[in-house]
Structure 1
């Protein structure tokens, strides 16, 4: 194998970042990289499932318990492990991995440090956190953001330099040909039941459009702390017979395939993997104009894009597509083509591989410039050149 690459990630369950790693890491191993993962965790069932899936794909996983956000003992164990493994590249994912992995990599003298930023987080607006995050980020040689929208958000919220980020979109593997749209106004939303996902806005939009589309239904796939509040909202809005709570569904393929339209009404998305998964299944997507979503959903071609939190605009978009089945089907077909051509996993892996090779070449050049032999050779060459000019 070629270069050894150690990824570090904090894992609680399998969502966008973890799904990305489940595709990327085995792909890099197939290309000759000796890829391993240190999984920071709190012994969650989802973390155990993630580690098992990665190991089944041939990627070694070192489990490192992280009992608190910043843990000196876990950090010391990580430094020892990095020194033992001696990777050429250490690549961190998400906040906890950045704060533990980048300093550990620098202490262990790893030649190349890479950091990928994955998402929107409410704490990024905190000035103390932003200052600490920028300070830790200075340790990295390569900065990756999963969308241009995320890079822009980090510049606005934490004062990062947007131009410093390499943009590497998530990728997706093609599934079999999807079934046709059902030809009925069936909506679906997939994701954690948390405020940033915008479920409450969608429920209000569904209630708004209800007079024109009394047959419209909504399936909500996901679990989370807002479930009881959302259920109460369904009752309050008179949507009891039109909204179904499915709980967590993994994989979500059946939910997408039952839907005529998939809605992603988020207030923030680093990328928006649900939109890409829905497009791969040939479904038109109505998405908020935030983060990476407008980079995935091509407005008026593969779906519709609306302002975040705008109930009226979302209701109008739902009505527009739900009443025009042929247009919805055309958008779904265009979405599948776009997903497979513009967001393939091979394209994502190509980009990461190129960044690794460029960074390793730059690190090699730095080592050469710093080595005593290189300096003495350069001095000798300079002296010889001076003598030659004097002889002339």
Structure 2
């Protein structure tokens, strides 16, 4: 029987976005597999209930120095520190800097974004942390190609979930993402306008918060589609939205993998997504109408219009997307692949 591991996940965070959800799901699965798991960081009110239920200890840490202290405190009691995002990489490296390799836990950095770590002033962060990091996990091939150093691709996975009934889905196009410039929600709004679906009883639901909301509201007014667009803000009921919506529109061209797209696929929701970065791996082999060239609002609008006029095609796309998620992007496969990397780093 393979010995259980003592695992510490570290994030410098007091929020609850995609990375925190990633850690919450993975830590719970690892605990269910019999490993001893701690988590540093994330919004306590959102993280702790699920972690406690899974038997995972939680330590809040909104500042880098708090992550450093927590890692130092637990370093003698864990086999591996799995860091998430650059600030946690730096904190873990600093926490074990004075320890010899044989007297410290292995550090495994999970890379969530398709870009290098950046710099502190003139100094590349990679130079500060690389000697202390024993292995890297990339959540997609797109991330692996963009980051510095070698890595192992272990795709993000999610739990099985019920599929929505195609006959009960509403005539709603859903965009669910942070309203930040790099997410290109403006492309999604222009695509909906170009599709002409506002004139056929469809609505666009923009779920998310961020600094782009006011510019997007002005864009909607200028495009003459305000009566058919709803800005619903931050939603805690995203799983229900994914079961009710008619299509998901995912215009972001830089997703490491694309958690909302993955969740939509798990729910059987037909996607129309920018064919870039991590989306490429998620959408491979699906109906060509599931993807469009990044930034091309007219092409995205054409995909929406074609699928809206083809209920059977929408249902088939949703079913195929769900089957792909279940076969290639399961939480079980992610946990198993992650454990392999841990044991190689420890060894």
TM-score if structure 2 supplies the norm length? Answer: 0.90
The residue that corresponds to 1:118 in the other structure is 112
Secondary structure of the structure 2 residue equivalent to 1:119: coil
Secondary structure of the structure 1 residue equivalent to 2:226: coil
Number of positions where the alignment pairs a residue of Structure 1 with one of Structure 2: 342
User: RMSD over aligned Cα, in angstroms?
Assistant: 2.5
**Contact 2:9 2:23 survives alignment (8 Å):** no
Q: Deviations over 1:152-211 (max 9, x none)?
A: 232xxxxx14xx110111111112242225466421111111112221111111112227
The residue that corresponds to 1:367 in the other structure is none
Taking a change above 3 Å as real, the CA distance of residues 300 and 91 of structure 1, as seen in their structure-2 partners, is closer
Give the Å deviation of 1:76. Answer: 5.5
Q: Which ranges of structure 2 fall in alignment gaps of 5 or more residues? A: none
Give the Å deviation of 1:277. Answer: 0.6
Secondary structure of the structure 2 residue equivalent to 1:10: coil
**Contact 1:302 1:332 survives alignment (8 Å):** no
Give the Å deviation of 1:125. Answer: 6.3
Taking a change above 3 Å as real, the CA distance of residues 303 and 208 of structure 1, as seen in their structure-2 partners, is closer
Secondary structure of the structure 1 residue equivalent to 2:186: helix
Structure of greater relative contact order (alpha carbons < 8 Å, 6+ residues apart)? 2
Give the Å deviation of 1:273. Answer: 0.7
Q: Which ranges of structure 1 fall in alignment gaps of 5 or more residues? A: 155-159, 363-392
The residue that corresponds to 2:69 in the other structure is 77
**Contact 1:8 1:92 survives alignment (8 Å):** yes
The residue that corresponds to 1:6 in the other structure is 8
Would you say 1:199 and 2:185 are equivalent positions? Answer: yes
Would you say 1:48 and 2:21 are equivalent positions? Answer: no
Given the alignment, which residue of 143, 152, 168 partners 1:166?
Answer: 152
Q: Deviations over 1:331-369 (max 9, x none)?
A: 101111111121111111111112222222x2xxxxxxx
The residue that corresponds to 2:282 in the other structure is 296
- Answer with 1 or 2: which has the greater Rg: 1
TM-score if structure 1 supplies the norm length? Answer: 0.80
**Contact 1:115 1:140 survives alignment (8 Å):** yes
The residue that corresponds to 1:100 in the other structure is 91
**Contact 2:109 2:137 survives alignment (8 Å):** yes
CA distance in 1, matches of 2:193, 2:343: 53
**Contact 2:80 2:107 survives alignment (8 Å):** yes
**Contact 2:118 2:125 survives alignment (8 Å):** no
The residue that corresponds to 1:138 in the other structure is 131
Secondary structure of the structure 2 residue equivalent to 1:11: coil
Deviates more, 1:276-285 or 1:303-312: 303-312
CA distance in 1, matches of 2:122, 2:31: 35
**Contact 1:11 1:47 survives alignment (8 Å):** no
Q: Deviations over 1:239-288 (max 9, x none)?
A: 11111111111230222122221011003101101111111111111111
**Contact 2:139 2:156 survives alignment (8 Å):** yes
Q: Deviations over 1:219-258 (max 9, x none)?
A: 1111122212211211111111111111111230222122
